[in-house]
Amino acid sequence: MDWLFFGEISLAGLAMGGLYALIALGFVIIYKATRVINFAIGEIMMFAAYLFLAFAGGMEMSPWVAVPLAVLGGALLGGVIEKTMIRPMLGESPIAVVMVTIGIASILVGLVELIWTADPQLLPSFLPRQPVFIGELYLAPKIAYGFLIGMAVLVIYLLYFRFSRGGVALRATASDQAAAYSMGINVRRVFNLAWVFGSLAASVAGILVAATGGLSPQFGIIGLSVLVVVIVGGLDSILGALVAGVFIGWLETVAGAYLGGEYRMPATFAVLAVILVFKPYGLFGTHEIERV
Amino acid sequence: MRIGDAKQTYVADEAIWTTSTQKFWFSILLLGLLIFPLLANSYLLYLGCLVGIAVISTTGLNILTGFTGLISLGQAGFMGVGAYTVAWLSTNTGLPFPITLLLAGLMAAAVGFLVGLPSLRVKGLYLAIATLAASVFLHFIFAEWESVTGGMEGLSLEPAHLFGVTFRSDFAMYFLIVPLAVLAVLAARNLFRTRIGRAFIAIRDRDISAEILGIPLLRYKLMSFALSSFYAGVAGGLFAYFYRVVTPESFPLTMSIFYLAAVIVGGMGNLLGGILGAAFMTLVPEALKLLTAALTPFFPNAPVFMSPMLEIIFGALIVGFLIFEPHGLAEIWRRVRRFFHLWPFRS
Amino acid sequence: MFNQLMQKGRQLAGIGSLVTALGLAAPALAQDKEPIVFGGSIPLSGVFAFAGIHGHAGLTDYTDWINSQGGIDGRPVQYVMEDTAYEVDRSVAAFKKITGSYSPPVYYGDSTGFMKSIASELNSMNSMLMSGASFATALTDNEQYPYQFIPGPSYSQMFGIILEYIASEGEGGDMPTVAFVYSDTEFGKDPIENSKARAAELGIDVVEEIVTKPGSVDVSAEVLKLRRVRPDYVVFHGYVLSPINEFMVQMRQMGLDTKFMGTFWSSDKLIIDKMGKDADGYMGIMPYNYYDAEESGPMLDALRAQAEKSDPEAGYRPTAYIQAWFNAMVWTEVIQRTLDAGKELTGDNMAEALASIKDWDTGGIMGIPVTVKDMSFPVGRIWRVNAAEGRYEPVSDWIHLD
């Protein structure tokens, strides 16, 4: 076995996993606060990436301006979706809400095709292009810098939720909605904020992923990989999102490299199936107790 | 004018036909279905066949999702199992279609049974994810098990045949598909007059309560999965006979979502809704195309907008119905009927 | 960015009246003879719209041109199409709709899936010849698809031509090595088995095979694999753009001097437009001359004149345009030959006429006379991107497989 090769592959996989972790974080924030499984997360990522393309490519803004603008646009989109389409579903069965997010995904795909056509696109390159070496291990520059940016955002998020007022409100709402409400927390606002922050994380990740993988209206497929991550990690666990994100990213890449690209999805979904059977609520998720 | 109907016995309550008016309209419907192919051109016949297949599959999914409350993202995968079973059997054994379709249904039911197993431990959304995983594995098997499925190339098959008669044209296929669709719906209608069907509904409404009432959850959930997959398998088998080619790309995830959408738009837990939803969702693209063609003289670039508009309409239908009309087209239909029943009084 | 779509609309509008194309208005030429109908399932929207729109333009322009030449055998030509959004079931619906109202002897199909799904119906109709956007190897099987042909080399034949080119670059015992990179789709896997066998015959070592999952994914692990084996050539198949760019950029960053090649649908201007100078040196196989090639010929000039006439502002016309034009050229030739022989336009007669095409001069569309083999036109040439000029330039002679 070629350990150097294994090391390089693993490194690439872990870096990709970092981005998965960031997307999963966005997913978990939304789920924790609002109990909504967001099947449209891949499409929100895609939308932000297209916004970046419009700002940086079409209007030729500097990436320093275009990235924040696109990310804000993605976050705003999340807020609007929550206000207009998720809020009316409050109290409906989770299945109905999930279907609404599936519908939203389809609407977003249509909008993107309407505005930017279905043609494949490349983002203007905005990351340094010199190869990165860690010891002897080569790492593609886009992946390396993408990983660093993703991690930075992740750390900011974790600090925010730990220490800021908004973060505390969000955690309070997640742990007991009624109690949070009676303590004077504006739960509706928290719901909206959760979607905004969740979409923001997804938007950052969306731009980073599209920068390496290219962009097309089929981009949302990545949402499936993220779904695996959050189920394996546990839907309501931030720690789970991080650990599972990195692990699934690694597994997918290693399976792709050693077995072939057609094994990427089956490999991660096999892990998913095992987790579902043995630990249905994920590695770190909270076990739900049902009462009649 | 008609005002409600008081039922005094359980038999009356369970009856399929409560009034002779119903029987009358149903006969008219059957007659219409019979006459339609004689009048329709090949395009309408083709659409009729598509709707028929969609009705069978949607009814199956309705049993699982609408009546038992188990959401499934694996419908396309189960249809694929049925389609491959038919393709393989008719190529390698030359069996006539009643047997291949039955086996297709049974094979899909067996797979559905397996997929349903996690429902012992997980439910709701986790179960949906489990069915998603199943559809990923099924797609993988379709693509990689080359000796049986023909790999990415897929399988081509001969037309359906029975007693020397082959079903080659759309006209012939119509008479294969539509009776089966009617049969499928009637069978489902009967199902919900039996203990099994009512157990499904009890599970949907509150599974823990149902268990306390003495309904073995696992057994009935698995039964629901198997039944629903049986429908999907038959629909997939008809799909195979209809297009006479089956490839892994014939059954994408979007197809599963399509059927879920049909159930929602039609009305969850309502058989009529399933039919309306299947027909509606199948015909929307064609209707939109007519609209585009009508607009083209005024907006020459209208065709370019069609596919994006279709995606948007598809999504907006799902979202809109869930928010504004959760009981779907069936509820609209009921209101319209009620209006005529009560006319000239207002409801 | 919204103007991209509007621009597409303009391209459509520029073709002339789409009304004619949709068959709503009377045929352009008011001749009393019954028109010959070209039918088409065309993806004007959806994932294949980037090619479908230009294919539509090509067919429309060809129809106008042939009518200005007096039609086929004195009969006018009418082009009737329906949008399919690149969905098989809608393609079939379009086919049924068109064949319900017209009886087109020839038809443009938009995908391999459609061509296969419609085959059994086509075979029992025996009244139509079909070709289109697909170069699938399977369609060269005359037993199963007797009335469907490929307007160029099949994907396997494209690989054959590419491999022949690669072999010709080898010196003596030092054959170049090659790696195949293809997508995990029917399209992507189409030529791979045949091509491995062909490479073995030529003595070319296929040192790596990489399958990529459809959709946007990071390919750096795959690039690392290629870095280990250091192939002299990487041949892409089953892509339009991504991930070709990522492979090329990353492998060059690693300092590899690998050369990159691709098949028909990955050899259009799109690669240059989107990748910019990163595209330099990329090689594609193309059975036709590019619109901006230096070659000329009576038909190629007619094509350019007609394109210029129908939309003076369009400028460069993509390969999909030329591909559609060539489809229509073959249809015309086949119909002409069938009628000349005094036969009816049945599937069998037209297939026979097609098979009889030998050393056919395409008037500059293809650079050399072409002979039909197994319902395909096994001709091609290798072109290389000159990023500074923004175009493909020929690097090989025309290659005719026998």
Q: What is the ipTM of this complex?
A: 0.86
Copy the structure tokens of residue A48: 């932000």
What range defines the domain where residue B208 resides? 40-251
Is residue B59 a part of any domain in this protein? yes
Q: Where in chain C is the domain with CATH 3.40.50.2300?
A: 2-153+295-371, 155-286+381-400
Is residue B236 a part of any domain in this protein? yes
Q: What is the pLDDT along chain A (292 residues), one digit of tens a residue?
A: 688 888 888 988 998 899 999 999 999 999 988 888 899 999 999 999 999 999 998 888 888 899 999 999 999 999 999 999 999 888 888 878 888 999 999 999 999 988 988 888 888 888 887 878 887 888 888 888 888 998 999 999 889 888 888 888 888 888 888 888 888 888 888 999 999 999 999 999 999 999 888 888 888 888 888 889 998 998 888 889 999 999 999 999 999 888 888 888 889 999 998 888 888 888 888 877 666 5
What residues of chain C lie within 8 A of the CB of A257, using their CB?
221-222, 224-225
Angstroms from B251 CA to nearest CA on chain C: 11
pLDDT tens digits for range B97-131: 889 999 999 999 999 998 888 777 777 778 888 88
Is residue B87 a part of any domain in this protein? yes
Bigger pLDDT: C360 or C28? C360
Q: Which alpha helices (DSSP H) does B161-252 contain, by range?
A: 170-191, 195-205, 207-212, 217-243
- What span, in angstroms and rounded, lies between the C-alpha atoms of C80 and C100? 12
CATH topology for C2-153+295-371 is Rossmann fold (3.40.50)
- Give the B window 278-337 contacts with A, CB below 8 Å: 304-305, 307-319, 322-323, 326
Is residue B315 a part of any domain in this protein? no
Q: How large a percentage of chain B has pLDDT more than 90?
A: 31
Distance from the Cα of residue B317 to its chain's centroid: 18
Q: What pLDDT is recorded for position A194?
A: 92
- Find all residues with CB under 8 Å of C226, minimum gap 6, and list them: C179, C208, C210, C234, C247, C251, C256, C258
Note whether B133 contacts A94, CB cutoff 8 Å.
Answer: no
**Cβ neighbourhood burial of A279 (10 Å; 0-12, 13-18, 19+):** middle
User: Under a CB-based contact definition with an 8 Å cutoff, are residues C184 and C213 in contact?
Assistant: yes
Is residue B74 a part of any domain in this protein? yes
What residues of chain C lie within 8 A of the CB of A139, using their CB?
220
How many CB atoms are closer than 10 A to CB A132?
19
Copy the structure tokens of residue A265: 């999805």
What does the H/E/C string look like for C233-249?
EEEEECCCECEHHHHHH
User: Under a CB-based contact definition with an 8 Å cutoff, are residues C86 and C47 in contact?
Assistant: yes
B137 touches A at CB < 8 Å:
yes
Copy the structure tokens of residue C220: 């750096």
- What span, in angstroms and rounded, lies between the C-alpha atoms of B316 and B295? 21
Note whether C211 contacts A260, CB cutoff 8 Å.
Answer: yes
Torsion region of C21: left, alpha or beta (phi above 0 gives left; psi -120 to 50 gives alpha): alpha
A114 touches C at CB < 8 Å:
yes
**Cβ neighbourhood burial of A18 (10 Å; 0-12, 13-18, 19+):** buried
Copy the structure tokens of residue C153: 């080399």
Size of interface B-C (CB pairs under 8 A): 114
Note whether B285 contacts C138, CB cutoff 8 Å.
Answer: no
Is residue B270 a part of any domain in this protein? no
Q: Which residues pair with B245 in a beta bridge?
A: B156
- Find all residues with CB under 8 Å of B174, minimum gap 6, and list them: B36, B37, B45, B48, B49, B52
Residue in B42, B50, B301 nearest the CB of C13:
B301
Backbone angles phi, psi at C397, to 5 degrees: -75, 170
- Give the A window 54-83 contacts with C, CB below 8 Å: 54, 57-58
Size of interface A-C (CB pairs under 8 A): 135
Helix (H) / strand (E) element for B109: namely helix B97-116
- What span, in angstroms and rounded, lies between the C-alpha atoms of A253 and A6? 11
- What span, in angstroms and rounded, lies between the C-alpha atoms of C389 and C384? 11
Q: Which residues pair with A133 in a beta bridge?
A: A138
A80 touches B at CB < 8 Å:
no
Distance from the Cα of residue A221 to its chain's centroid: 12
Angstroms from A277 CA to nearest CA on chain B: 6
Q: How large a percentage of chain C has pLDDT more than 70?
A: 91
Number of folded domains that form chain B: 1
* CATH code, residues C155-286+381-400: 3.40.50.2300
What residues of chain A lie within 8 A of the CB of B319, using their CB?
85, 100, 103-104, 107
- What span, in angstroms and rounded, lies between the C-alpha atoms of C191 and B155? 17
B144 touches A at CB < 8 Å:
yes
DSSP state of B303: G
The Cα-based distances of B49 to B171, B255, C107 in angstroms read: 9, 17, 23
What residues of chain C lie within 8 A of the CB of A54, using their CB?
1
What residues of chain A lie within 8 A of the CB of C246, using their CB?
212-214
Bigger pLDDT: B122 or B336? B336
Residue in C46, C210, C245 nearest the CB of A118:
C46
Does position C22 have pLDDT exceeding 60, yes or no? no
Residue in C18, C113, C144 nearest the CB of B247:
C113
Name the residue of chain C whose CA is nearest to B297's CA.
C19
Q: At what angle do helices B170-191 and B217-243 cross, to 10 degrees?
A: 170
- What span, in angstroms and rounded, lies between the C-alpha atoms of C94 and B266? 26
Name the residue of chain C whose CA is nearest to B151's CA.
C186
Does position C25 have pLDDT exceeding 70, yes or no? no
What residues of chain C lie within 8 A of the CB of A57, using their CB?
1
- What span, in angstroms and rounded, lies between the C-alpha atoms of A259 and A264? 8
Instruction: Enumerate neighbours of C (3 or more CB pairs within 8 A).
Output: A, B
Note whether A122 contacts C241, CB cutoff 8 Å.
Answer: yes
Q: Which alpha helices (DSSP H) does B296-327 contain, by range?
A: 306-324
Does position B1 have pLDDT exceeding 80, yes or no? no
What residues of chain C lie within 8 A of the CB of B41, using their CB?
100
